[in-house]
Amino acid sequence: MSNPTAAILVIGDEILSGRTRDANMHYLAGELATKGIDLKEARIVPDVQDAIVAALNALRARYDHVFTSGGIGPTHDDITADAVAAAFGQPLHVRDDARDLLARHYDRSGLEFNEARMRMARIPEGAVLIDNPISTAPGFSLENVHVMAGVPNIFQAMVASLLPRLTGGRPLLSQTLRIERGEGSVAKPLAALAAEFDDLSFGSYPFIQNGAYGTNIVVRGTDAGRLDAAMARLAAMAGAE
Question: Is 151 found in the same domain as 62?
Answer: yes
Is the Cβ–Cβ distance between 218 and 203 less than 8 Å? yes
152 and 208 together in one domain: no
* Structural domain count, the chain: 2
Same domain, 85 and 194: no
Average pLDDT score over residue span 68-90: 97
Q: Which pLDDT belongs to residue 185?
A: 87
Note whether 156 and 177 are same-domain residues.
no
The domain of 160 spans 5-165
- Does one domain contain both 68 and 26? yes
Which residue, of 118, 138, 165, is where some domain finishes?
Answer: 165
Average pLDDT over residues 164-177: 96
- Both 191 and 129 in one domain: the answer is no
Q: What is the pLDDT of residues 186-208, one digit of tens each?
A: 899 999 999 999 999 999 999 99
For residue range 14-26, what is the model confidence (pLDDT) as tens digits?
A: 999 999 999 999 9
CA atoms within 13 A on the CB side of 40: 13
What is the pLDDT at residue 237?
85
Integer Rg of the chain from CA: 22
Among residues of the chain, what percentage have pLDDT more than 90? 92
Measure the CA–CA gap between 188 and 137, rounded to whole angstroms: 53
User: Domain boundary residue among 122, 142, 165?
Assistant: 165
- The span from the CA of 153 to the CA of 37, in Å, is 21
User: Quick one: pLDDT at residue 35?
Assistant: 97
- Do 143 and 197 lie in one domain? The reply is no
Is the domain of 227 the same as that of 151?
no
192: nearest Cα among 240, 125, 144: 240
Name the pTM for this structure.
Answer: 0.90
Distance, in Å, from the CA atom of 178 to the CA atom of 217, rounded to the nearest integer, reads 6
- The kind and range of the H/E element at 205 are strand 201-209
Sheet bearing 212-221, strands edge to edge: 173-179, 212-221, 201-209
The mean pLDDT of 116-141, rounded to a whole number, is 97
For the cut 80, the answer to whether the pLDDT of residue 234 exceeds it is yes
Across the range 206-221, mean pLDDT stands at: 93
CA–CA separation, 111 and 240 (whole Å) = 68
